[in-house]
């Protein structure tokens, strides 16, 4: 599933490409992708003729503000992609479920092979009732700057294993399986260390590792794994996977100490760490 760096990369691309553009037509080919609407006609009616006024990210959600106080909500799910196309003559991927054409030319296409992602339109005042988790998101690690002491206080209030806590969207928004492993390696901390057991120095290391890892991942336009299902707005794969220190590197040499990276199970999911560098 795309995490904060991937969604933030797409947000920045959308900010350059679609903000101020007016929607001319909407074509719906996959009803599951707009499942919150009664039918394709309702979805189209809420969008056609509207101008994209703003774009922001809330955790792993993209929120496109429209004229008339409506919001187009996009969640990429496991394999969703938002792709820019020049127009109808560009080849259409077989997993394309929604095509938005703008009056100034160009298209925005929603492609989703596994169909866990979705798009829907709602009023701004109905947003949190439609997506309750948005009302309970934790702090944004790129946008919400805080002191180390405040971060330490938040950790102490939630005595939980560190990887589990970093992936808890109610604690911190946007981090998933990939970046929790990379952050913990950079901080030199094990996945199962309790959050209220950290020293002041370890708290500082963890906060710095979180901000620096995510910032660097955005700089490299996110991570595309072996399936290459994550792509940016222009259809290009990310570049940060080449910088991964532990994620999906089981048995390979740690780039810091040359001991083998190991894989563990954490809440039913795979985690990766260097047992020599992380304590």
> Using only C-alpha atoms, what is the Rg of the chain?
20
**48 flagged as catalytic:** no
**2 flagged as catalytic:** yes
The DSSP code for 143 is T
Residues in the chain: 279
Q: What is the token pair recorded at 127?
A: 């947003």
**141 flagged as catalytic:** no
Q: In a 3-state reduction of DSSP, which class is residue 256?
A: coil
The CA distance from 140 to 242, in Å, is 25
CB 81 within 8 A of CB 230: yes
Catalytic residue among 2, 11, 57, 221: 2
CB 37 within 8 A of CB 45: no
Single out the residue of 39, 63, 86, 84 nearest to residue 96, CA to CA.
84
The CA distance from 211 to 265, in Å, is 25
Q: What is the token pair recorded at 143?
A: 């946008």
E strands within the chain? 23-28, 52-58, 61-66, 70-75, 81-85, 96-102, 107-111, 118-123, 262-266, 269-273
The CA distance from 20 to 205, in Å, is 41
Cβ contacts of residue 38 below 8 Å, gap of 6+? none
Catalytic residue among 50, 60, 84, 221: 60
Catalytic residue among 32, 170, 219, 269: 269
**60 flagged as catalytic:** yes
Cβ contacts of residue 170 below 8 Å, gap of 6+? 136, 137, 138
Catalytic residues: 2-3, 60, 269
């Amino acid at each position: 599933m795309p995490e904060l760096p991937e969604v933030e990369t797409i947000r920045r691309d959308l900010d350059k490409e679609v903000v101020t553009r007016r929607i001319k037509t909407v074509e719906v080919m996959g009803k599951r992708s707009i499942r919150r609407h009664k039918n394709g006609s309702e979805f189209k009616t809420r969008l056609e003729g509207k101008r994209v006024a703003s774009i922001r990210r809330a955790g792993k959600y993209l929120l496109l503000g429209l004229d008339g106080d409506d919001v187009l909500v996009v969640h990429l799910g496991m394999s969703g992609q938002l792709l820019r196309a020049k127009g109808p003559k560009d080849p259409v991927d077989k997993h394309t479920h929604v095509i938005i054409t703008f009056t100034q030319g160009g298209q925005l296409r929603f492609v989703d092979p596994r169909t866990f992602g979705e798009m829907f339109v709602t009023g701004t005042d109905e947003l949190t009732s439609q997506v309750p988790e948005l009302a309970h998101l934790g702090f944004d690690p790129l946008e919400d700057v805080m002191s180390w002491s405040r971060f330490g206080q938040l950790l102490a209030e939630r005595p939980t294993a560190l990887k589990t806590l970093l992936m808890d969207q109610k604690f911190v928004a946007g981090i998933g399986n990939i970046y929790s492993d990379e952050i913990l390696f950079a901080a030199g901390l094990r996945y199962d260390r309790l959050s209220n057991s950290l020293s002041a120095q370890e708290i500082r290391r963890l906060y710095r590792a979180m901000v620096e890892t995510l910032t660097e991942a955005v700089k490299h336009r996110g991570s595309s794994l072996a399936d290459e299902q994550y792509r940016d707005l222009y259809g290009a794969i990310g570049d940060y996977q080449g910088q991964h220190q532990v994620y999906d590197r089981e048995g390979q040499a740690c780039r810091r100490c040359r001991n083998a990276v190991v894989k563990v199970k954490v809440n039913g999911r795979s985690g990766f760490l260097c047992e020599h560098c992380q304590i």
